[in-house]
């Protein structure tokens, strides 16, 4: 089996549970009527730093030896992982460096700085990111904590699904968004370990469908067209996460940009939940009835709630 073991997930939960929120599982009769199923929403939009990313970052940072952690941690991220790693490092009392593209929105820069992260800007290209990260690691000796290509991070992300099964009903389906595959990999590991019969569904924008194409083709496909409002879902699978998805995920379902926006609106109007586009992708799959699940129990992971408010 690829990826971290179920035992590693249980140990991760023990390691991080005192530092994170045990986010609520919420329901809505109106959303049930739209979907034709019984929906249960795991609200990681209410998590510390505003997303599930704090789970994996905290597990990675607190898994390190004193000697490794003392050199600090580093990553490349323009979003939720950057903020999460900065906070986890602050909790451990070690420095955190984050490589961010020069065009990163100000609100995301401010979040990283507020949690104590030190930003190094780079050219907004894949080559620019890789070169800046390599130089940073050489200069500082910091330990790399990748946003998803790391078993410690995946085990941490898996704790959201573990809590879901402990706090919610028995699920027939479990939905989670997919980008680089850290959350979906962890979700698949936890779900199949606790209930082998549950169907694990990855949720992805049609405009960033590389994970869907990868599972269809049997090998990792490049992210060609990623012009989507769900900007947190533009990463490409790593060999590690791809192998886990092949073993643990039943299928990936696509949604349109309009469906993502409408799902965000309904979550706000019907449940008073602020959910970012990337987090609403799984809700869009549910409310637009992308699968035949009439009367079934469907779990939906709302992965984050960091929305930039504009005048």
Question: Which whole number is the average pLDDT over 135-155?
Answer: 96
**DSSP per-residue codes, 155-211:** HHHHHHHHHHHHHS---SEEEEE-SSSHHHHHHHHHHHHH-TTPEEEEEEEGGG-HH
**pLDDT at residue 73, rounded to an integer:** 98
pLDDT at 76 over 60: yes
Nearest to 241 by CA among 192, 198, 202, 186: 186
Measure the CA angle with vertex 13, ends 281 and 10; round to 5°.
105
DSSP 219: S
185 as an active site residue: the answer is no
pLDDT at 113 over 90: yes
Q: What is the pLDDT of residues 258-295, one digit of tens each?
A: 999 999 999 999 999 999 999 999 999 999 999 999 99
Q: Which domains does the chain have, with CATH numbers?
A: 6-51+150-302 (3.40.50.1100), 54-144 (3.40.50.1100)
**pLDDT at residue 305, rounded to an integer:** 93
Measure the CA angle with vertex 192, ends 187 and 195; round to 5°.
120
pTM for this prediction: 0.95
- The residue from 78, 193, 214, 303 that is catalytic is 78
- The residue from 42, 53, 108, 162 that is catalytic is 53
Q: What is the pLDDT of residues 302-311, one digit of tens each?
A: 999 988 766 5
> Which phi and psi (to 5°) does residue 28 adopt?
-155, 120
223 as an active site residue: the answer is no
Q: What is the pLDDT of residues 185-237, one digit of tens each?
A: 999 999 999 999 999 999 999 999 999 999 999 999 988 767 888 888 888 89
Q: What is the pLDDT of residues 7-25, one digit of tens each?
A: 999 999 999 999 999 999 9
Q: What is the pLDDT of residues 162-191, one digit of tens each?
A: 999 999 889 999 999 999 999 999 999 999
**pLDDT at residue 265, rounded to an integer:** 96
CA 147, CA 75: separation in Å to the nearest integer? 7
**pLDDT at residue 10, rounded to an integer:** 98
**pLDDT at residue 295, rounded to an integer:** 92
Give the mean pLDDT of the chain: 94
- At 161, list the tokens: 């699904």
pLDDT at 129 over 90: no
**pLDDT at residue 311, rounded to an integer:** 53
pLDDT at 102 over 80: yes
């Amino acid at each position: 089996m690829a990826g971290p073991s179920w035992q590693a997930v249980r140990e991760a939960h023990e390691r991080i549970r005192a530092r994170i929120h045990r986010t609520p599982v919420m329901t809505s009769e109106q959303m049930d009527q739209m979907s034709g199923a019984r929906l249960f929403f795991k609200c990681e939009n209410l998590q510390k730093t505003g997303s599930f990313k704090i789970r994996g970052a905290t597990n990675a940072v607190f898994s390190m030896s004193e000697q490794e952690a003392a050199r600090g941690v580093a990553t490349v991220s323009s979003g939720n992982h950057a903020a999460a790693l900065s906070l986890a490092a602050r909790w451990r009392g070690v420095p955190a460096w984050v490589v961010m593209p020069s065009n990163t929105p100000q609100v995301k820069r401010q979040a990283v700085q507020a949690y104590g992260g030190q930003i190094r800007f780079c050219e907004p290209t894949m080559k620019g990111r890789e070169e800046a990260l390599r130089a940073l690691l050489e200069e500082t000796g910091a330990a790399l904590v990748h946003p998803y290509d790391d078993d410690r991070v995946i085990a941490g992300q898996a704790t959201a699904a573990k809590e879901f099964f402990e706090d919610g009903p028995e699920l027939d389906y479990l939905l989670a968004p997919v980008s680089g595959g850290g959350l979906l990999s962890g979700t698949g590991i936890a779900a199949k370990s606790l209930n082998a019969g549950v169907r694990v569904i990855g949720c992805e924008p049609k405009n960033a469908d590389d994970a869907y194409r990868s599972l269809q083709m049997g090998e990792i496909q490049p992210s060609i067209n990623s012009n989507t409002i769900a900007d947190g879902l533009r990463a490409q699978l790593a060999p590690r996460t791809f192998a886990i998805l092949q073993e643990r995920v039943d299928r990936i379902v696509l949604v349109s940009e309009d469906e993502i926006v409408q799902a965000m609106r309904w979550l706000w109007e019907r449940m008073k939940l602020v959910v970012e586009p990337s987090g609403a992708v799984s809700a869009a799959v549910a409310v637009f009835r992308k699968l035949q699940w009439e009367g079934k129990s469907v779990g939906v992971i709302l992965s984050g709630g960091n929305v930039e408010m504009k005048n």
